[in-house]
Structure 1
Amino acid sequence: MGKISKKGSKYLRHALYMIAEFARRHNPVLKHLFERVKNGNKKRHKLAVIAVANRIARYIYSIMKSESSFVIIHENIMRLPEETRNTFFNSISLDFPKNTRKQIYQYSDVNGEIHRFVYKNETTESIV
């Protein structure tokens, strides 16, 4: 509805805000949303983080309501600017060990096939 409500749990609100802060730095799709809302204005930082938190809350609600797993749809990736798409595909790895401790995500390709991926660890990639 345009602004964050103070009616709910302050702990949940704080947790969503902290998740959004992390996601805006590491998830290229949510980073694009953050930059689009912020639009280079330093005073809009909190507003942009709240927009990311709102999107995450909507993702969570959708997953719980449909009782399914979260899949990034190919059409949604293709709507992003080319630079963001390249960042997304360069920051993921389809080859990971079966017993990985990283969070495993899913996206669909052009043919609708579901692929599992993990985000590459930027610190180890730059060292190698």
Structure 2
Amino acid sequence: MSDRLGRHHLNVLGMWVCGVGVLLLPLGRGSAWWSFAAAVAGIGMAMLYPNLSAAVADLAQPDWRASAIGIYRFWRDLGYGVGALGLGAAAALGGSLEYAFWFVALAMGTSGLILYHWGEETHTRFNPVP
């Protein structure tokens, strides 16, 4: 596990740490608890978010890079709208706002697992070219 995780550790760990932070939010009460949980989620997002744009920029050929980043941003921004619908549906179907938090935590954990198993590191330091 450590070798595989080491190759794309910031993205996978970022998703999992962010998911844990979101998972912690409905489990406690008070501003101290929510501040702690939000800080955990924020640390996870800080590990993850900048790497997503950087990965797109690194993988795209220079003459196509701007278009690749635009396409990535389109799908990412579309996810905000679709995600909001998913959160509302989770809360409505579950009958409680807590279900929206569980939905996000599950989505982050699942995304991390998908990246862990099928993500491919392209940086030559971690994946040397023979």
Same fold (TM over 0.5): no
TM-score computed with the length of structure 2 as normaliser: 0.32
TM-score computed with the length of structure 1 as normaliser: 0.32
Larger helix percent:
2
Larger radius of gyration: 2
Larger strand percent:
1
Which structure is higher in RCO with an 8 Å CA cutoff and minimum separation 6?
2
